[in-house]
Amino acid sequence: MDQAGLHQIEALAAESGLIVMGAFHPRQVYGPDDEVGTLVLLGTGPAFWPVFLQSPEYLGGDAHPIDRWSERVVGEIAMQLGVSCSYPFGGPPYMSFIDWALKSGRCWQSPVGMLVHDTVGLMISFRGALHFDEEIPLPVTPSAAPCTTCDAPCTTACPVGALSGDASYDLAACHGFLDTEPGTTCMTQGCAARRACPLSTGAGRSDAQSALHMRAFHPT
């Protein structure tokens, strides 16, 4: 598959509101003993939510609708392209999506610990990966993390300092705050630290989508 093939992947993903969030050649990254080919990461983009709202997974009201939607949609894309695919859920064991994201050159560890992406900031939602046998030509990735030129508002946005950059993530403080009335904003609009990242606006994430993710993270 040539460079036009990468555009084909992007076009197929876009039909379902997904975007190519990174790609790399495993053998070039991990060494000659790894598999030949290309790994392409897919995630939600600004057009995802309206598409998802019309899906049978959402309308059916069953548990884990985004995961079930992802399995169907990414699986269909893989079938059309004649490749295999994997998902960031369904474990254990879990696939190495965090390491793959870092190896793609389009994600970095942010000042608050979680991954930051060059176009969607801290609003990352990987939905699957496509595994190609051939090495697809890939575009040049950014030379430096966006955080190197940022004032890092993510480090001061959390109301209880659960994500501050000075210490590890304080899960207990985070969940405790979400159970309070002031924590309603995070539950209905998304994590304050994630929202503070200037690049997060690129995700086009609606409050309703953020609320669904927050309910999965912190069921009430």
| Strand ranges of the sheet holding 126-132, from the earlier edge strand across to the other edge | 18-24, 38-44, 126-132, 84-86
pTM over 0.75: yes
Element (H, E) at 117: strand 115-117
Q: Helix 65-81 to helix 3-14 angle, to the nearest 10 degrees?
A: 150
pLDDT, residue 35, reads 77
Q: What is the largest CA-CA distance in the chain?
A: 54
Closest alpha carbon to 19 in 111, 118, 157:
118
CA separation, residue 36 to residues 24, 29, 131 (Å): 11, 11, 10
Q: Tell me what pLDDT residue 58 has.
A: 95
- Side chain identity at residue 129, one-letter code: A
Give the structural domain span for 204. 3-217
Residue 104 has a CB neighbour count (10 Å cut-off) of: 21
pLDDT of residue 168: 86
b/e map 194-218, b = 16+ CB within 10 Å: bbbbebbebbbbbeebbebbbeeee
**Cβ neighbours of residue 10 closer than 8 Å, sequence gap 6 or more:** 19, 20
Instruction: Report pLDDT digits (tens) over 13-54.
Output: 999 999 999 999 999 888 877 778 999 999 999 999 999 999
Alpha carbon distance, N-terminus to C-terminus of the chain: 47
H/E stretch holding 11 reads helix 3-14
Number of domains comprising the chain: 1
Residues of the chain with pLDDT under 70: 1-4
User: Given this model, what pLDDT does residue 135 score?
Assistant: 92
pLDDT value of position 32 = 79
In this prediction, residue 131 carries a pLDDT of 96
